Amino acid sequence: MRQTNSPDTAKSQPPPTGAPAPHIGRGESPGARGRVVGQEPVGVIHELGEAVRGYEVGERVIVAAVTPCGACYFCQRGDLSQCAGFEDQWGIIGGWRLGNSIDGVQADFFRGPYAHANLAKVPDALSDEQVLFLTDIATTGISAIETADLRIGDTVVIFAQGPIGLCATAGASIRGAGLVVAVDANHKRLDMARTLGADVVIDYTQEDPVAKVKALTEGRGADVAVEALGIQETFENSLKSVRPGGVVSSLGVYGDRITIPLEPFIFGIGDIDIRTTLCPGGKERMRSLMALVISGRLRLDQLITHRFDLDEIEEAYPLFSNQEDGVIKVAVSP
């Protein structure tokens, strides 16, 4: 498949069009040395395997970072992100194959695994950039809101407004939250959070986000707190910010040990529910997200602040990793 994607990590092999995901580069996720990374592609079908039906060469498609087979134990139970595949042994990365257990998308061509289950056709009315982030950050960020079972009118606080946190902010607004609170220190990202639906933004270097959330909720705390960074501080603040009986929805990929402090956890008797999620994949998930884009409810192309050709990818990585020049997301074209 020929494609467009965004850069994926700090240091890697040359990639295709898409966006960066820092976990492999920081050593937080497994990946064989020399593996082509990348997992956010928009592409055009160049060749089809003989068993693939319902697609034609030349069609434009997206493929999610998580590529379920549709037939294993986990897929048949509806846990698509934990797919074990036909040959694979289940492991900690579940169905996240691109850039992990097989070569990813930062290349001129890549192979889409289990194509029958994972190629989502892109309507002609939508551009590559409008659908690019549905493959990873959008499905991941929005899933934090779905996993938390956010109800209409609920208060939600999202800690960290990186690309995935911004998608969680958009998801909370779409889902019908009554109050969406976004926390970060990067003012460009806080401005984007407002654009995507945040009602209140908090610069945690200027005020205590936990105290602010309590003040906004008559001292109770938020119904849902989303942790979107993967460090102890934001995980702990999520626990401190959520009300008794509330939900902490954890998106962060934790590269180090985290602990649950007793008092914020109300010593285990506060009915606080901690839930985790790995980004949902599969073609139907992609189709449903494209419906939100077509309706105008989800506009993530505005997250793209920088664009590079594939042979310029080495310039894109440090820019993205170090948050230079107001970067939010980078798109790379082969």
CA distances (Å), origin 21, targets 91, 137, 262:
20, 9, 32
Q: Is the Cα torsion angle 296, 297, 300, 302 positive or negative in sign?
A: positive
Cα–Cα distance between 158 and 184 in angstroms, integer?
Answer: 9
- Confidence at residue 5, expressed as pLDDT on a 0 to 100 scale: 64
* Residue 80: closest CA among 139, 121, 22: 139
| Fold for the domain defined by 2-136+280-333 | Quinone Oxidoreductase; Chain A, domain 1 (3.90.180)
Top pLDDT among 101 and 145 is at 145
Residue 296: is its pLDDT beyond 50?
yes
Tell me the average pLDDT across 193-203: 98
Tell me the average pLDDT across 211-232: 97
CA 190 to chain centre: 18
Please give the model's pTM, rounded to 2 decimal places: 0.89
Query: Per-domain residue ranges for the chain?
Result: 2-136+280-333, 141-276
Strand-pairing partners, residue 60, are 44
CA distances (Å), origin 50, targets 47, 53, 245:
9, 8, 52
Residue 249: is its pLDDT beyond 70?
yes
Residue 171: is its pLDDT beyond 50?
yes
Tell me the average pLDDT across 180-191: 97
Q: Which CATH class is domain 141-276?
A: alpha beta
Query: At a CB cut-off of 8 Å and minimum separation 6, what does 136 contact?
Result: 19, 21, 39, 40, 64, 65, 279
Q: Of all residues in the chain, what percent carry a pLDDT higher than 70? A: 89
For 259-276, how does the pLDDT look when each residue is reduced to its tens digit (9 = 90+)? Answer: 998 988 888 889 999 999
Tell me the average pLDDT across 317-322: 92
Mean predicted lDDT score pLDDT of the chain: 89
- Confidence at residue 1, expressed as pLDDT on a 0 to 100 scale: 55
In this structure, what token pair is assigned to residue 168? 């969680």
Query: At a CB cut-off of 8 Å and minimum separation 6, what does 160 contact?
Result: 183, 184, 227, 228, 229, 234, 252
- Confidence at residue 100, expressed as pLDDT on a 0 to 100 scale: 85
